[in-house]
Structures are given as structure tokens and as C-alpha cells.
Amino acid sequence: MPQRLKDTKISQRAFETTLLGWTFMKNLWSPWRSKYIESFREEQIDNVCIFCDAALKDVSDPDNLLIYKNDIMLTMLNLYPYNNGHLMIVPNRHTDELTDLTVEESAEMMRQLIISKKALMEVYQPQGFNIGANLGGASGAGIKEHLHFHIVPRWSGDTNFMPVLGEVKVISLELKETKKNLVDVYKKILNK
């Protein structure tokens, strides 16, 4: 940084993002996302879709991330969550196209999103949710070959200094504990 800017007490960060009246976009690095995306490339080499593989597993097995499944849809935890309780709703049938869903699959997708929201409300009491899908690689989809929706619980202030300054996202609950809590609440909701 030039001495004259040091003298005006402009921080290094301000200097890097604002120069001669131009403002530049800041990057927020999330190295865990690279590990996440690379894990799918490795699985694609084996021609194994992690969602198709998950559809073959049993919810009662504590070594997988399944929360619920039926004949056409499954709900599972995200291995690399943005927040505690980050769930994915996935059709059992392998498709990458939203418009290929049948009426029954579309209805079940919405039903699972609603059940997920209820379960997450009961377990975590979030103040909001992000719900959506990334369709195609350009949208940021980590697994573009198999359609899935995300439901991410949110709290005011859940983006704190750690991701901004430390380049680390703090997830306070272990996935197996999260799974157990959500499976129990799912059963309770579905038996009402």
C-alpha cells in the first residue's frame, strides 16, 4: 500500500476493494466447497450417483445421512451444510430436469419440503429458511446430474465474523446427532 494511503489510515482491505473511486468485488473463499465438489467428481468416475445410492439405503442406518424416504422421494442431510439442519429433498428417480418430474413426484417434493420445514422448526426454531434448487452447473449445482432441492434453516446473525474473516463456517452440531433428532421428529410429524 502506498505510504500516502497508510497516512490516511485507509485499511489494507479498503485499499484492496476501493481504488481511485472504483469498487471491486470482494471474494469470500469457502475451501470446503472445493472438497465437496471434488467428492462428486470422484464418485462420477465410479458412475455412482450419491442420490441414487442413498435411495437404496435404510433410514435406520446411522452411517448414512437419510432422514426419510418413500417410494418416490427421499430427504437427507447435506454432508457439507451451510447451516445446522441443511436438508436436501431428492426424487428417487434419476433426473436432472425439473420439467421431467411427474405430477406425483412434484406433489411429493412439495410435501417433503413442508414436512422438512415443520421438523426443522420443531428441532431448531430458525427465524427463516432458504428453499431452492440449483439447476445446471452454471447455477452452482454441486450435483447437476440429479435434481434436488435444498432447505436451509436461517437465523438473524448466522453469517458472523467467522466466514468473513476466518474463512470458516462454524457448524455447531455433529451430523449424526442432527440425523437422530430429525428422524425422531419426522416420525412424530408423519404419525399425526
CA distance 28 to 72: 37
Outline where 8-160 has alpha helix (H): 12-17, 31-45, 50-55, 103-124
Amino acid at 2: P
Residues 6+ apart with CB under 8 A from 153: 83, 84, 85, 86, 120, 124, 126, 128, 129
Nearest to 88 by CA among 113, 60, 56, 57: 113
How many Cβ atoms are within 10 Å of 30's Cβ, its own excluded? 15
Asked whether 113 and 135 are in contact (CB, 8 A), the reply is: no
CA distance 6 to 23: 18
Asked whether 92 and 69 are in contact (CB, 8 A), the reply is: yes
- Establish whether 86 is a catalytic residue: no
Which listed residue (86, 94, 146, 148) is catalytic? 148
Residues noted as catalytic: 148
